[in-house]
């Protein structure tokens, strides 16, 4: 880069920022719930007793989602791909736990929404600004 070149600061669309903040809150909340069995609904608490390793793994997935969200906030494309990977892992874990296919696949809605908000905004389009 030349000394004469001016680097344009990246601009984030408001919808993307709001969605990323919601992702941070939701994943932190989910991780907390999975790590604290008394906060679980009765049917989930029973599942935690049967499949003891499942909820700590789900909490870890939530923490990894926090990392992916922070990466996207820092303009890293790998954050999107990590989020997509954890959605696929969550689908597999849900199916293993006996959750219906339809309910398990609902996790892909979050990926689709994230993909969508990364692609709106004209000059503030997030996807093209990710490194």
Rounded Cα gap, residues 35 and 73, in angstroms: 26
9 located within any domain: no
Q: Which residue has the tokens 């939530």?
A: 62
1 located within any domain: no
b/e sequence 92-127, b meaning 16+ C-beta within 10 Å: ebbeebebeeeebeebeebbeebeebbeebeebbbe
Count of structural domains within the chain: 1
The tens-digit pLDDT sequence of the chain (131 residues) is 566 667 778 888 899 999 999 999 999 999 998 888 777 777 777 776 678 888 899 999 999 999 999 999 999 999 999 999 999 999 999 899 888 999 899 889 999 999 999 999 888 899 999 99
63 located within any domain: yes
Domain residues for the domain of 26 are 14-129
95 within 8 A of 104, measured Cβ to Cβ: yes
Instruction: Please report the sign of the dihedral spanned by the C-alpha atoms of residue 113, residue 79, residue 54, residue 96.
Output: positive
4 located within any domain: no
110 located within any domain: yes
6 located within any domain: no
Measure Cα distances from 13 to 68, 80, 85, 129 in Å: 18, 16, 24, 11
3 located within any domain: no
8 located within any domain: no
- Predicted TM-score (pTM) above 0.85: yes
């Amino acid at each position: 880069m030349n000394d004469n070149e001016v680097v344009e600061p990246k601009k984030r669309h408001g919808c993307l920022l709001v969605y990323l903040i919601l992702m941070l809150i939701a994943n932190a909340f989910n991780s907390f719930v999975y790590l604290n069995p008394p906060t679980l609904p009765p049917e989930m608490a029973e599942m935690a007793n049967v499949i003891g390793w499942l909820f700590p793994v789900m909490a870890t997935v939530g923490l990894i989602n926090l990392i992916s969200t922070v990466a996207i906030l820092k303009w890293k494309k790998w954050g999107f791909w990590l989020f997509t990977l954890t959605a696929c892992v969550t689908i597999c874990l849900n199916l293993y736990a006996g959750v219906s296919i339809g309910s398990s696949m609902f996790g892909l809605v979050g990926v689709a929404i994230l993909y969508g908000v990364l692609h709106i905004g004209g000059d503030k389009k997030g996807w093209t600004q990710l490194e």
